Amino acid sequence: FHDSPMFSTHDRSLTFPHSPCNDLVAPGRDGKPNALVQVAVIDPQKQHLVFHACTEIVEANKDPLFLTGVTFPSEYPDSPETIVKLTVCDARSKSQESVSKQQLLLFWFFYCKMIQACVCVCVCVFSGCSFKPSCCKAQKPLEFIPINLHTQRMRVTCPKKADAFYDIVTVGAPAAHFQGFKCGGLQRLLSRYESDKKSAAYQCIYYSPEHTAKAQEVLSTMGLLQPLITGSADQLLLAAHEHSSSGMRDALKSLSDKTEQFVHTLKDELVKSALLALHAARPGYVTKSQKQPLEQSHRQVNQGTLKHQDSIPHHKEFDEEEWDRVWASVAKCLNCVIAMVDKLQEGGNSKQEPAPELQLADVITSHNPGDWKEQLCPLVSRLKDCVMEVVEKAKRAMTFVLLQEAACSTPQGFLLQQRRDVVFSQALAALACGFVMKLYAGLRDKNFLRQLHLVGLVAQFESLLSTYSEEIGMLEDMEVGISDLQKVVFTITEAKTDKLSELQPSVWGRRDHFTVEVPLPQVIFQTLPEEMKEGKPLRVYPVLFNVGINEQQTIAERFGDISLQERINQRNFELLEAYYKTLSEKVPLECKCALLETLGQNVVTKKRKNVEILWTAGTICRRLNGIRFTSCKSAKDRTSMSVTLEQCALLRDEHQLSKDSFVQALDCMRREGCRIENVQKNIRCRKYAFNILQLMAFPKCYRPPEGTYGKVNS
């Protein structure tokens, strides 16, 4: 590696931004290794090598690009003499997904072959600034970090009203600035990629992103529910052994709930169709239409050819009803268990009707009525067996779907996934920041906490990007990144101590599901609702509204295309409306539908630079206790105009700022204070990057005062 690894100041993560591991060769194979990097540490005090961690495997690529890094936790012992040893390896084979992380690392450690020589680099004491200024937005080593992520709190002291504060979160548009926008952004690139995969060139079955997401969901749900079903079944048998009616009742309720969820998950057409596709893909599969001609041809060929054809196993025709019978048997077995529990608790009444298919009465009368466990055991075992059979079939089917997706993947798909990871990482960092601020601000608000654990919070992103030139690509990236935040949930945990290092959020999960853990001090944690203390996942509902306000948007409106902006605003209005309806069913609200109706009208109104969309959406979000984010390309210039306008509007509408003082306050906020300091922090200059010609295209309320703008290099 000609570049030293990069260490962030918070989690001290080790990444490989410019890896020169090029033209790697794996002897005895096709020359395309599954590359990974092992990281080991030499402790200068003990002078021996300790294995630490390794990167993700890169799929058969001689020029690897590592999508994951290696993290050194904050408590990790280090010194200026600490040596990190990086070893580039070729993984001969890969373990199954179900293997634990520790086992996976051991597998890689013992079954790897060296490709290149080991490299040693010295580790510094991890000092530096975690802030990424706007001028660094296109730097490769920093592409996963959000641009100019900035928080601000406006506190208002008013003699006629209780003190109030308003939090502001601003961030540059989550986008792959380093990769550029020559071919568009994620929304366009993904659409084109999906179209390409449907072509005949790919010799695989095409499954849409919705299908692959469903397959991952089914696998995840099965993996979660199967052990819960088994555990509830064992609890039922234990209660039966103890002749505990209440224990049996509780265990049976849990078993019924989990089994019904399990069955509901598998009643999906995708599982059934995937089983058929998997069966048809096996060697020797013969359809009904092929069967008769094949038998005739067998009679016409010589004995040698017949022998060769018979070496290929011919499978029986696929019974499309078999899958329905398999998952339905789980429900029938559950009914038998329920019937037996009722029978036992009624005192062994032999006149009860037999249970479906298993002739329950025969089972009951064949055993001593006094031994409840003995009579329940065969029925519970049968239920477990049926669940296991269903799991095995469904796993094969859903894995087949995911393998088809992998088979269709190309280098283009790999690069698109990397781009999506970059954009999502920036959006996730901003969301986590906003969530933590909102949580701490609302800890004493019982209605807010109730809303949080019953429904979740809306997270509204306001964007000022134009739909012209490269900014349309940024907006396409941002749209996908914000939408991907639907995969994120938050949980609240109790911090071990009140040290700042113990209160940092942490992220874990996979691309289809991420959990952000937010530790709270022990005293605060104890005041939370029980659902939150028990670790209930807390959802966020991300929405994005965009109105371009600069001179490029003028060009787009007159000569270009603003359909992307219109579609984004219409789609996200529908999402916000759906959230409002869900929330209003569970939590009393002060916000009335009138604002939503106004927003809906503005979204469909053909009006240039209709910033009322942003104002109305922002007001709705605040009244719904939501999290607000404001963005433009760098969150520096246009964002400052929007934020200061919002703050002055709050002072006017909520704290009696007179109309005569409004413009004066607005100019003061833009000339002095937090936003101009943010500009200084980013580009070492106290001027917004506008010129007089550009500002002529801006709505008047978004124009800065004289003397605060000019030509700068940003």
Q: How many CA atoms lie within 13 A of 630 on its CB side?
A: 25
pLDDT of res. 426: 96
User: Tens of pLDDT along 640-692?
Assistant: 999 999 999 999 999 989 988 999 999 999 999 899 999 999 999 999 999 99
321 φ, ψ to 5°? -85, -10
Kindly write down the DSSP assignment for every residue of 104-173, as one continuous string. HHHHHHHSEEE-S--EEEE-----S-----GGGTT-GGGTTSPSS-EEEEEEEEETTEEEEEEEEEE---
pLDDT of res. 429: 96
pLDDT of res. 356: 47
Cα torsion for 332, 337, 340, 342, to the nearest 10°? Answer: -100
CA 562 – CA 17 distance, rounded (Å): 35
pLDDT of res. 28: 57
Would the pLDDT of 491 be above 80? yes
Would the pLDDT of 617 be above 80? yes
Active site residue: 632, 668, 674, 685, which one? 632
Stretch 367-389: mean pLDDT, rounded?
A: 83
pLDDT of res. 15: 41
User: Tens of pLDDT along 430-461?
Assistant: 999 999 999 999 999 999 999 999 999 999 99
pTM of the predicted protein model: 0.65
pLDDT averaged over every residue in the chain = 80
Stretch 74-103: mean pLDDT, rounded?
A: 57
Would the pLDDT of 241 be above 70? yes
Model confidence at 115, in pLDDT bands (50, 70, 90)? very low
The burial of 85, by beta-carbon neighbours within 10 Å (0-12 exposed, 13-18 middle, 19 or more buried), is given as middle
**Pairwise pLDDT comparison (353 vs 567), residue with the higher score:** 567
Query: Are 260 and 229 in contact, with CB atoms under 8 Å apart?
Result: no
pLDDT of res. 121: 28
User: Tens of pLDDT along 504-562?
Assistant: 999 998 888 899 999 999 999 999 999 999 999 999 999 999 999 999 999 999 998 99
The amino acid present at 341, given as its one-letter code, is V
Using DSSP's 3-state secondary structure scheme, residue 228 falls into: helix
Joined together, the tokens standing for residue 572 give: 């996200």
User: Tens of pLDDT along 400-411?
Assistant: 888 887 776 666
Using DSSP's 3-state secondary structure scheme, residue 353 falls into: coil
Instruction: Out of 247-256, 321-330, 341-350, 607-616, pick the least confident.
Output: 341-350
Would the pLDDT of 238 be above 50? yes
Instruction: Out of 141-155, 231-245, 515-529, pick the least confident.
Output: 231-245
CA 356 – CA 340 distance, rounded (Å): 12
Under CATH, which number does the domain 6-122 receive? Answer: 2.60.40
User: Tens of pLDDT along 547-586?
Assistant: 999 999 999 999 989 999 999 999 999 999 999 999 998 8
Would the pLDDT of 267 be above 50? yes
pLDDT of res. 74: 58
pLDDT of res. 20: 57
Would the pLDDT of 368 be above 80? no
Would the pLDDT of 145 be above 50? yes
Q: 648 an active-site residue?
A: no
Boundaries of every domain in the chain:
6-122, 134-181+420-702, 209-285+316-408
Q: Which CATH class is domain 209-285+316-408?
A: mainly alpha
